[in-house]
Amino acid sequence: MKRSGGLGTAAFARLWHRGRWGVIPTLLATLLGMFAPVVPVAPAQALGAYTLQGTGRDSCEAPSVDERSGRRPRRLHEPGLGVPMNAMQPSHGRSTRALPFIAVIATAALLTSCAAYPGQIPAGSPSAVSSSGGQASSAHASNGKPRATPVLPPQAALHGQAVALGRNGQAWGATKTDRQILLRTPHGWKTITLPVTPASGNSVATSGDTVISLGFQADGLTVSTSADQGKSWSTKTVPTGEAGGGANIALSAATGRFVAGAGHVGGMGAVYPGGPAYVGDLVTGVRQVELPGDARDAGWAGNTLLAPGSGIGDMGERLSRSDDGGLTWTDLTKTLTGVEPPKDEIDPALPYFGPVLSLDDGTAIVLQETMTQGVGISAKVLHFKADGTYAPVASVSVAADVEGTPGALMASTYGPDAIIVAPLTGGTFQVVSLDGTVTTIQAAGLPAGPDTISFADDANGLAQATVTSCPNGKMSCTSTTTVYATTDGGYTWTAL
């Protein structure tokens, strides 16, 4: 609901604390605002303009966490495919009338305790703590920046049999035909017809007007590129030895360079030392390189290519960098961790590296993680600048009853200069900014720790969560995976 005219309550509180106006003029302005007409928000009519439901909370009350049964204690980083969904219902506009003259002095006192003003963290916002433990300002507005515009996906955006949510903001779903997808772009959700059916995995990426997709044909992996949001295409087919593991691409928003490759299909518990991948851009084309890991986890910091590798599943026990586009590599592992990991086996107590998170400013984040059995996963947040230099900026810990082979934390970029780390269980997300500030968000609406998350910016995010129920023992277990959306930075989520 929007109010026209009058002095807003938050503005009144700021003026009250700053002392820029006298008390009498301020009270008069407040009273005028009380009698101002109320303008109701009209129901959403356009395709995709739907409103989250059932997540309202009082302005002075922090959101509660919706807890249900059937949480999984840990899961691997994996793209979501074939996700069942429920139709999202449009909101219904309502109008209310302001209550006149209710204890002005009491109102001022309430504003003093609840409204936001410089130096105070608004109630209901995530708490913020710097990496050194000091108190910081709130939400992702910790840098004084407003959140991005809320934009929910169209009603049919993620109803297809193939859905992919990527850590760098990629999100797409198949639609009417095998080659037609609904893609989240910087210009909103767009229906795009690809030259080749997209492979499973994070096989479509976009930045600006550039769209790049990967798909398998009989003679290999086809890399399709478009510089005009899919109106025209160029394709190149490159040889690949594996097609069963899908394909993945990471596109740098700062340089336009990409790294792509077929997903590795390996044995259970086998160490993957790396293999062929492809790098390129719209100008120089595509060339093959040897990647010391899976293309699924690689990414860019400027023109520096980073690749976690030599691990099992979604973890990389080593981190390597290349300053020449993948022609030569430097192993950073011992420099970063102080330990040289064994070549042919995995020690679950040793640190490992999560997938590269490439930010819009050309820098990147890599989580150096350590799993403690039965306790959780702790991570050092490493920031790689565009010139290849790097430094730790913060640390986070995610509690859970984890066991077995280590798995990477679920994380996504979160606006131009931050990342968001998902919980393994429960509803506490953590946002890490490049200045070292770590904020926590108590999420409501997710039934379990998400399998995947993907934020287009610091407001609009998608997640997949799986709920498992075993009413009569292990032989009766069933699992349901659902896609959820948020438009308020992760506070509230609604099933699509």
Predicted confidence at residue 63, as pLDDT, reads 35
Predicted confidence at residue 266, as pLDDT, reads 57
Predicted confidence at residue 41, as pLDDT, reads 32
- Contact criterion met (CB below 8 Å) for 462 and 451: no
Q: How confident is the model at residue 175 (pLDDT cuts 50, 70, 90)?
A: confident
Q: What is the pLDDT of residues 15-40, one digit of tens each?
A: 333 333 343 333 333 343 444 443 33
Q: How much of the chain exceeds pLDDT 90, in percent?
A: 44
Least confident segment among 128-132, 263-267, 442-446: 128-132
User: In the predicted model, is pLDDT for residue 343 greater than 70?
Assistant: yes
Q: Considering the chain, what is the average pLDDT of its residues?
A: 73
Helix boundaries (H) for 269-347: 333-337
Domains of the chain, with CATH numbers? 150-412 (2.130.10)
Q: How much of the chain exceeds pLDDT 70, in percent?
A: 65
Give me the mean pLDDT over the 179-199 stretch.
92
Separation of alpha carbons 246 and 254, rounded Å: 26
448: closest CA among 462, 475, 432, 468?
468
Give me the mean pLDDT over the 126-146 stretch.
43
- Contact criterion met (CB below 8 Å) for 236 and 222: yes
| Helix, strand, coil percentages, rounded to 5, for the chain | 10, 35, 55
Residue in this structure with the two tokens 């703590």, named with its chain if needed: 129
**Backbone φ and ψ of 83, nearest 5°:** -95, 125
Read off the tokens for 44. Answer: 């959403």
Neighbouring CB atoms inside 10 A of 296's CB total 27
Predicted confidence at residue 146, as pLDDT, reads 59
Give me the mean pLDDT over the 359-369 stretch.
95
Q: How confident is the model at residue 242 (pLDDT cuts 50, 70, 90)?
A: low
438: closest CA among 142, 35, 124, 72?
142
Give me the mean pLDDT over the 315-332 stretch.
91
352: closest CA among 402, 414, 388?
402
Q: What is the pLDDT of residues 287-313, one digit of tens each?
A: 999 999 889 999 999 999 999 987 555
Q: Which helix (H) or strand (E) holds 173?
A: strand 171-174
Q: What is the pLDDT of residues 348-357, one digit of tens each?
A: 888 999 999 9
User: In the predicted model, is pLDDT for residue 463 greater than 80?
Assistant: yes
Which amino acid is located at 342 in the chain?
A: P
Q: CA angle at residue 336 from 379 to 414, to 5 degrees?
A: 40
